[in-house]
Structure 1
């Protein structure tokens, strides 16, 4: 701290924190659509601060801790308050307990990430990242406003969503982190075409497509776990047989 701190990445983190706080202000004013949009803005700032720190070589322990505190506010407390005010208040105590579960799981997810950051593969996150969980919530709110679905359906859907997303945040499912250095290197031309096509579709129907994109990412962890289950079982059996062979060899000696 005596040597100072890096300004640029921490300004992006502050931007994320500001967007999360403004979302809470919008929620208390009953403007839930604006609140949902500012959570998405916060996730953009959160994605930029880490990339700026890595590209400029300004990553620091202070930045990591500051980012986690900002994430807890922007992607834990803010969406929890939004969900309670928008859909869960009629449930009374059950409503605010469900919202608190989301906040608690976000805090546990961030604490586990800080502990495992030096030991876990950088290309994968363990558990659903909190920005993705909060973005899933905000895109759901925007989808309901887009289609004008009834409030009874809203209450049931958001209650199921809370428990599902909270579980995924503290699960051991692996999620792609988009931190792979290969992404910024030369790629086949077809990748550019697909990227342009995706951006065009999102621009045409932003609310629907954002919901679909976040939903696909949320389910990517469980789907990848199921698809890799046979390979993991074979690996576990091979390791177990190896241990048995070593044990038998030691007994013969």
Structure 2
């Protein structure tokens, strides 16, 4: 296998990291929809780099380190800045300090996962992954006009504790790669189209499609497991 082939997953990881950097910049300049969408694009890239690494047999220590760094920036620091600039800023220094807790909890969760001796399960995560937590905050920002700020605050606080909890969160790792890759490609393409056209107000409607699909998947997994136990 060529060195270029082995670098392909790392390119996706670096793209994820760059999305986090750009998101922070957009949030600081008041372009909150751009900032949120870049976090969601980072999620797509993050979901693909690991699968590509396994598919190409290109797992490496460098890739794992890059992945953790990208995750803490794109799904930890960037969402906390986004929440601060859209809501917590009105509380001054206290709001800034509270927003900073999110990447701290996320970093702890990542470190705990990296030293875990049991990473073999494909069925669940221990505690909500920082990727999902950061994505949820990005979606809340996009829906900011219809979701009360108090709800965002409660969810923000809950996500902090859920990341370091021992609760088992269902995983999508067992979704077949061709189907999963198709979904990722379509979703990413839609995001890029939305950014190009500037029709940000239409983007939240995609969530109404994605959420029922995920719930349906969880229900399917539950039924299959129950049948297997019988």
| In structure 2, distance between residues paired with 1:61 and 1:117 | 16
Report deviation, 1:160: 1.3
The aligned residue for residue 16 of structure 2 is 16
- 1:143 is displaced (CA, Å) by 1.2
Please list the CA deviations of residues 218-250 of structure 1 after superposition, one character each: whole Å capped at 9, or x if unmatched.
Answer: 9x99xxxxx9xxxxxxxxxxxxxxxxxxxxxxx
Which residue in 2 is equivalent to 1:36? 36
Q: Tell me the equivalent position of 2:74.
A: 74
CA distance in 2, matches of 1:6, 1:105: 31
- 2:7 corresponds to: 7
Gaps of 5+ in 2: 192-201, 223-230
Q: 1:207 aligns with which of 204, 209, 217?
A: 204
How far has the Cα of 1:163 moved from its partner? 0.5
Distance in 1 (alpha carbons) for counterparts of 2:17 and 2:208: 23
Contact 2:10 2:63 in 1 (8 A): yes
Secondary structure of the 2:78 match is: helix
Deviations 1:198-221 (A, max 9, x none): x9xx99x75145268569979x99
Shift of 1:157: 2.4
Q: Per-residue deviation at 1:176?
A: 2.3
Please, what TM-score do these two structures have when normalized by structure 1?
0.69
- Partners of 2:125 and 2:80 lie apart in 1 by 22
Contact 1:123 1:179 in 2 (8 A): yes
* Aligned counterpart, 2:138: 138
Contact 1:98 1:159 in 2 (8 A): no
Gaps of 5+ in 1: 187-194, 222-226, 228-253
Partner Cα distance (2:166, 2:73) in 1: 23
Q: How well do the aligned residues superpose, as a CA RMSD in angstroms? A: 3.4
Equivalent of 1:168 in 162, 169, 178: 162
Whether the 8 Å CA contact 1:12–1:46 is kept in 2: the answer is: yes
1:121 paired with 2:91, answer no
Retained in 2: the 8 A contact 1:20–1:75?
Answer: yes
Matched, 1:56 2:49: no
Give the corresponding residue for 2:171: 177
Secondary structure (helix, strand or coil) at the match of 1:110 reads helix
Aligned length: 201
Q: Is the 8 A contact 1:136 1:214 kept in 2?
A: no
Q: Is the 1:140–1:211 Cα contact (8 Å) retained in structure 2?
A: no
Q: Which stretches of structure 1, 4 residues or more, deviate above 2 A after TM superposition? A: 3-6, 117-120, 182-186, 211-218
Deviation at 1:46, TM superposition (A): 0.5
